[in-house]
């Protein structure tokens, strides 16, 4: 498998559910990211992990909890979400230290919160 993969591709959940999004990168990169893309809005950076350490948290509500067990895997744990959290959640990876920071995206998880 190549590139960046994400599962599930689609998720419908109630506000009281707990679910997790999974991302895996097969590019040998050392940095991974979670983004949120809502309709009519630009991509919003949520979290950055560099060498497995969280380096940025863009004021994301605590109902979103990231986990990065190693440089290839990234999770986003979801609990007690709100309907306005419905969006496309994109994972990306890059190789830090090259000076360019080109990021490669997974296909995303389309989340609907009822």
By CB under 8 A, which span of 22-30, 49-57, 60-68, 73-81 interacts with other proteins?
Answer: 49-57
Distance from C-alpha of 23 to C-alpha of 29, rounded to nearest angstrom: 13
**Among the listed residues 57, 113, 10, the one whose alpha carbon sits nearest the alpha carbon of residue 67:** 57
Three-state SS at 85? helix
Distance from C-alpha of 99 to C-alpha of 110, rounded to nearest angstrom: 31
Mask for 14-43, x = binds other proteins (CB under 8 A) = -------------------x------xxxx
Angle, CA 34 vertex, CA 82 and CA 64 arms, to 5° = 35
Q: Is 100 in the site for other proteins (CB under 8 A)?
A: yes
Identify the residue whose tokens are 């863009």: 58
**Of 28 and 42, which CB lies nearer to other proteins in the complex structure?**
42
Q: Is 48 in the site for other proteins (CB under 8 A)?
A: yes
Work out how close the CB of 107 gets to other proteins at its nearest, in angstroms, rounded to a whole number: 5
List contacts with other proteins (CB under 8 A).
33, 40-43, 45, 48, 50, 55-56, 90, 99-108, 110
């Amino acid at each position: 498998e190549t590139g960046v993969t994400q599962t599930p591709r689609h998720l419908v959940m109630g506000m009281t559910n707990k679910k997790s999004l999974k991302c895996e990168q097969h590019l040998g990169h050392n940095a991974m990211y979670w983004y949120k893309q809502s309709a009519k809005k630009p991509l919003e950076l949520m979290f950055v992990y560099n060498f497995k350490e969280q380096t940025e948290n863009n004021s994301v509500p605590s109902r979103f909890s990231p986990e990065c067990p190693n440089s290839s895997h990234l999770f986003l744990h979801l609990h007690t979400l709100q309907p306005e959290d419905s969006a496309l959640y994109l994972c990306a990876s890059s190789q830090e230290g090259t000076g360019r920071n080109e990021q490669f995206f997974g296909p995303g998880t389309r989340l609907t919160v009822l």
